[in-house]
Chains A and B, each alone.
Chain A
C-alpha cells in the first residue's frame, strides 16, 4: 500500500507567520493534491500538481502557494497565516480518478 505522511498532526501558529505543511508519498505517483476541510463545507481543493515543478490552482488558492521540487514531496505554504486559515488540511495522491488521503494536519492560527 502507498503511504502518505504529513509532517504534523497538530500545529498552532500565530497570525502573520509563514507556515509550511509537508506531504510525502512513498511511491512514484505523479498526481498530488492539497485540500482544506471545514465543517459544513466539505473538502475544498487548494492546489494540485501532476508532475515535478508543475502546479495548478484549485478552487480556493488565495493565501496559499505550493512547491513540488521532488515527485514524492508536495508542500503547502501559507505565506502569512490568518485566523481564517484555521482548518484541517489534507494531502492526497491520485491514481487515475481515485484519490487517497494522508492523515491530515489540524492547523490552528491564533
Chain B
C-alpha cells in the first residue's frame, strides 16, 4: 500500500515465501504502469511494466496484476530471497498529450526478507 507520513508500510516475509506488494493508483485514465525496486542508497531499478489492456504480466519470479475496476496494482515475488529486500513502488503514466510522458509515483512499501 501507500505510505502515510514519514513511515513506509513494511511487509516482512520469510525467505522462500511468496510476497505480494500492493499499490492503489489515482488516475482511472492511466494506461501504463511500472514497478520499481529501490535498494538502500541506490537509484530505483525497473522491474516490470504492464499496460491497461492486460490484467497480468509475468517476468522472472515476478508477476504484476492489474485490476482497473478498483484501480489496484500488485507485485508478486515468488520464492522471496534476501536480495529482494528493498523498497518497492509503483508508477502510473499520466498521458498529458505532450511530447514527454510523465510518471506519477507511489511512496513505496519496504519489503524485509527474514532469513
What residue in chain A is nearest B3 (Cβ atoms)? Answer: A40
> Which residue of the partner chain B has the closest CB to A31?
B100
How many Å lie between the Cα of A106 and that of B42 in the bound state? 10
Per DSSP, chain A at the interface is strand
A2 smallest CB distance to B (angstroms): 11
Contact between A39 and B6 (Cβ–Cβ < 8 Å)? Answer: yes
B100–A90 touching, CB < 8 Å? no
Given contacts A40-B7, A42-B108, contact A102 B100 (CB under 8 A): no
Counting chain B residues whose Cβ lies within 8 A of the other chain, the interface size class is 20 to 34
Inter-chain contact B89/A97, CB cutoff 8 Å: no
B101 touches A94 (CB 8 A): yes
Report chain A residues within 8 Å CB of B102.
Answer: 45, 48, 58
Say whether A104 contacts B93, CB under 8 Å: no
Kindly identify which residue among B93, B100, B105 contacts A56, using a CB–CB cutoff of 8 Å. B100
Q: How far is the CB of A107 from chain B (nearest CB, A)?
A: 14
Report the minimum CB–CB distance from A29 to chain B (whole Å): 11
* Chain B residues packing against A (C-beta within 8 Å): 3-8, 32, 34, 36, 41-46, 49, 89, 91, 93, 98-103, 105-108
26 A-B pairs in the complex with CB atoms less than 8 angstroms apart? A31-B100, A40-B4, A40-B5, A40-B7, A40-B8, A40-B107, A41-B107, A42-B3, A42-B89, A43-B44, A48-B100, A50-B100, A56-B100, A94-B100, A96-B101, A97-B93, A98-B34, A98-B49, A99-B34, A99-B91, A101-B44, A102-B43, A103-B43, A104-B41, A104-B42, A106-B41
